[in-house]
Each structure stands twice: as structure tokens, then as C-alpha cells.
Amino acid sequence: QVQLVESGGGLVQAGGSLRLSCAASGTIFSINAMAWYRQAPGKQRELVTRITSAGSTNYADSVKGRFTISRDNAKNTVYLQMNSLKPEDTAVYYCNAHIRTSYTGPTYDRWGQGTQVTVSS
């Protein structure tokens, strides 16, 4: 079994910073794309940012220039550095990863449990 465990959420004032981490563990052959999603109360889950195994990234327009995604392939970990936080960034943030557990096996879509980020005005 593969698990994604997130950490780093919390309460911060507007303009502040937080860094989220998501570590994958279990039987892992390779990890393709990794991503961060978020879901605010009463809203649908949305893609925040995504990074491929080669390091290519893309961001939602609402976070461009403020958030940075990175990954450490040796540690099977993805990070989200969030700067200049705004109250509208308040949401539960979820880690997502496309994981292969063997050379010939399929790719599985795995999610973390979510971590709360609250930005006060």
C-alpha cells in the first residue's frame, strides 16, 4: 500500500507564509506527476499546482508568483511554499500523486488526507 502524508498546515495572518510537505511511503517504483489541490468550504476541489517527474510545473492563475511547488525525488516528497497568503487561500490542501508500484504495473492515483490552511485578515 502507498500512503501520502501531509504536514505544515496551520493558521497564518494575511501576507504570511507557510510550507506544506507531502511524503509518499510504501511500495513505490516511481512517481510521475505530483500535485496540490485545495477545497474551500462550499466549493469544488481545484488544482493549485502540479509538477512532473522532470520538474515541469504549472500553477493556477490565482497563485502564480506567490506559490512554488518543488519535489525531492530521493525522498518521494513534494513541497508547496506559499507566500503572500490571502484570506481567499483558506482551504483544505490535498496532495496528489500518480504512483507506480512496479516496472510493469499500472499507475495509481493517490491522495493525502488533507491539511487545513487558514489565512486571517
Model confidence over 19-30: pLDDT tens digits? Answer: 999 999 999 999
Q: What is the pLDDT of residues 91-116, one digit of tens each?
A: 999 999 999 999 998 989 999 999 99
Q: Is the confidence at residue 83, as pLDDT, over 90?
A: yes
Contacts of 22 (CB under 8 A, 6+ apart): 4, 5, 6, 7, 34, 36, 77, 78, 79, 80, 95, 97, 112
Q: What is the pLDDT of residue 1?
A: 83
Q: What is the pLDDT of residues 9-52, one digit of tens each?
A: 999 999 999 999 999 999 999 999 999 999 999 999 999 999 99
Percent of the chain having pLDDT more than 70?
100
pLDDT grade for 64, boundaries at 50, 70 and 90: very high
